[in-house]
């Protein structure tokens, strides 16, 4: 599913060279739910951007069996649209479009026929409990509902992997729990999820926990107790 080996990413300015990822290795099997943690500046965001083909990099990266290391901008955009579902902390819904149209836009770009788009959209909105709000714009929804709409947008494209960046970061504890219930339901149905988070409760609900430190991976497995930002976590 995801196979990164020796991946590096360096940011350069006139005076400074920053190694955001160093010989980074990570494999995520189909159907895994992986939580990724690490202190600020450790490389989590860069890893997620590389995994989502939003950043160029050096090294080997195979996504769903395909080498994606040397693609054109257009090829990266197409694979992002077809293979990757993104869920962001800030939801990233288009504010002046309805929930339905927010799901429709990426499917339209894939030239999926209208009837199939409608079937996917309504099926997915039913799945996340938002079918009755398909005509609402994001401002008419609660934070938790907006995040469920964002998850629905990711799911409607039938991606091979969902990349979630602090998906509960803007939500209160009740809404966070509801969103994580939905992630767990999606995972049980077979979805592959990679989630970057600072929330230790979310870490416990993932299937596997890995840490990033200084641009490199510490794979802590399924049940090993680890230390994260000074707190013990049973992963």
* CA proximity to 85, closest of 168, 184, 185, 195: 195
Q: Model confidence over 23-35: pLDDT tens digits?
A: 999 999 999 999 9
CB of 137 within 8 A of CB of 168? no
Whole-model pTM?
0.90
Q: Which residue has the tokens 């976590």?
A: 233
* CA proximity to 147, closest of 200, 107, 186: 186
Q: What is the CATH number of the domain that holds 155?
A: 3.40.50.300
Decide the pairing of beta strands 17-28 and 33-37.
unpaired
Q: Model confidence over 138-178: pLDDT tens digits?
A: 999 999 999 999 999 999 999 999 999 999 999 998 999 99
Q: Which residue segment(s) compose the domain that 44 sits in?
A: 2-234
Whether the pLDDT of residue 231 is over 80: the answer is no
Whether the pLDDT of residue 187 is over 80: the answer is yes
Q: Which residue has the tokens 């010989």?
A: 23
Looking at the structure of the chain, the number of domains it has is: 1
């Amino acid at each position: 599913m995801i196979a990164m080996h020796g991946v590096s990413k360096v940011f350069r300015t006139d005076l400074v060279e920053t190694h955001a990822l160093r010989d980074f290795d990570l494999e995520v099997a189909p159907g895994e739910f992986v939580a990724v943690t690490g202190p600020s500046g450790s490389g989590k965001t860069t890893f997620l951007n590389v995994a989502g083909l939003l950043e160029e990099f050096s090294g080997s990266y195979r996504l769903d069996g395909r080498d994606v290391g040397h693609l054109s901008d257009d090829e990266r955009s197409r694979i992002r649209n077809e293979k990757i579902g993104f869920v962001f902390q800030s939801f990233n819904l288009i504010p002046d479009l309805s929930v339905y149209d927010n799901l429709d836009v990426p499917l339209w770009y894939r030239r999926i026929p209208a009837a199939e788009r409608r079937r996917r959209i309504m099926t997915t909105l039913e799945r996340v409990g938002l079918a009755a709000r398909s005509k609402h714009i994001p401002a008419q929804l609660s934070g938790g509902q907006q995040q469920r709409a964002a998850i629905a947008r990711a799911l409607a494209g039938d991606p091979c992997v969902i990349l979630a960046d602090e998906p509960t970061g803007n939500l209160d504890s009740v809404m966070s729990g509801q969103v994580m219930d939905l992630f767990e339901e999606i995972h049980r149905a077979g979805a592959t999820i990679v989630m970057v988070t600072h929330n230790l409760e979310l870490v416990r609900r993932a299937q596997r926990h890995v840490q990033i430190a200084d641009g490199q991976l510490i794979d802590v497995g399924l049940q090993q107790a680890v230390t994260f930002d000074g707190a013990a976590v049973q992963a």
